[in-house]
């Protein structure tokens, strides 16, 4: 997997800052300080300044940041000044939920294909997309210029699906299966384990509570 030059935690915070700035734009607020951003998203203002410093100087001392300008910068840094076509492999409950997830569309991630091997799922409509058999993977990736693959198949099938995505030329994979996936150096795999998130809660209830 590719090494990040910028810490992943920073990238995730930039994503959160950009949402907050979007909210400010909606409220017609023109300038914002790092303190206000910090308060708005729940991190320290030193953290905000450090995160933004990775990408050069945006703000003016004593004045703060111009909201629209900073928002534009962040969206560009996050690669969100364009849309990305997404293929989802696995049309179960989670795959279907993600295919219909407004939070993806809102940020420019367009689900253009959903594939499965289950005959009962193939043909199912998810908004404008119809579930198709796994065999069309390579064709769809080429045809729709798909950049990102989302894996929502059971653990046992996850590596095979990943190999097929890599073979089709996909360079970025979001993995919801509990399996650790092997992929070439130039392919970024990001694991989303929903249970890890709930375990941060049980830790706090058990350990601090």
Closest by CA position to 17, among listed 40, 35, 33, 50 = 40
Q: Check if the beta carbon of residue 85 is closer than 8 Å to that of residue 168.
A: no
Query: In terms of CB distance, is 94 or 134 closer to a copy of itself?
Result: 94
State the minimum distance, in angstroms, from the CB of residue 111 to a copy of itself: 11
Contact residues toward a copy of itself (CB under 8 A) are 1-2, 4-6, 8-9, 11-12, 14-16, 19, 40-42, 76-80, 82, 84, 86, 92-94, 96-98, 100-101, 103-104, 106-109, 147-148, 150, 171-174, 178, 180, 188, 190, 192-209
State the minimum distance, in angstroms, from the CB of residue 63 to a copy of itself: 25
State the minimum distance, in angstroms, from the CB of residue 145 to a copy of itself: 12
* 143 contact partners, CB below 8 Å, separation of at least 6: none
Q: Check if the beta carbon of residue 189 is closer than 8 Å to that of residue 173.
A: yes
Phi/psi for 72 (5° steps) reads -60, -45
Query: In terms of CB distance, is 20 or 65 closer to a copy of itself?
Result: 20
State the minimum distance, in angstroms, from the CB of residue 34 to a copy of itself: 18
Residue written as tokens 């100087």? 57
State the minimum distance, in angstroms, from the CB of residue 186 to a copy of itself: 9
What is the Cα–Cα distance from 102 to 109, expressed in whole angstroms? 9
Query: In terms of CB distance, is 163 or 199 closer to a copy of itself?
Result: 199
Query: 89 forms bridges with which residues in the sheet?
Result: 115, 151
């Amino acid at each position: 997997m590719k090494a990040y030059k910028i810490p992943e935690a920073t990238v995730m915070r930039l994503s959160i800052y950009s949402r907050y700035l979007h909210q400010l734009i909606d409220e017609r607020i023109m300038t914002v300080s790092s303190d206000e951003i910090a308060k708005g998203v729940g991190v320290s203002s030193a953290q905000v300044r450090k995160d933004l410093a990775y990408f050069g100087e945006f703000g003016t001392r004593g004045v703060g940041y111009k909201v629209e300008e900073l928002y534009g910068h962040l969206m560009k840094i996050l690669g969100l000044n364009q849309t990305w076509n997404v293929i989802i492999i696995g049309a179960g409950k989670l795959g279907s939920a993600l295919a219909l997830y407004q939070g993806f569309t809102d940020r420019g991630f367009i689900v253009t294909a959903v594939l499965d091997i289950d005959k009962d799922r193939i043909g199912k409509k998810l908004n404008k997309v119809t579930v198709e058999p796994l065999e069309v993977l390579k064709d769809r990736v080429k045809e729709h210029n798909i950049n990102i693959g989302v894996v929502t198949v059971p653990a046992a099938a996850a590596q095979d699906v990943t190999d097929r995505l890599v073979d089709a030329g996909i360079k970025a994979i979001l993995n919801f299966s509990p399996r650790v996936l092997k992929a070439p150096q130039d392919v970024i795999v990001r694991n989303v384990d929903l249970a890890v998130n709930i375990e941060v809660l049980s830790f706090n209830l058990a350990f601090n509570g």
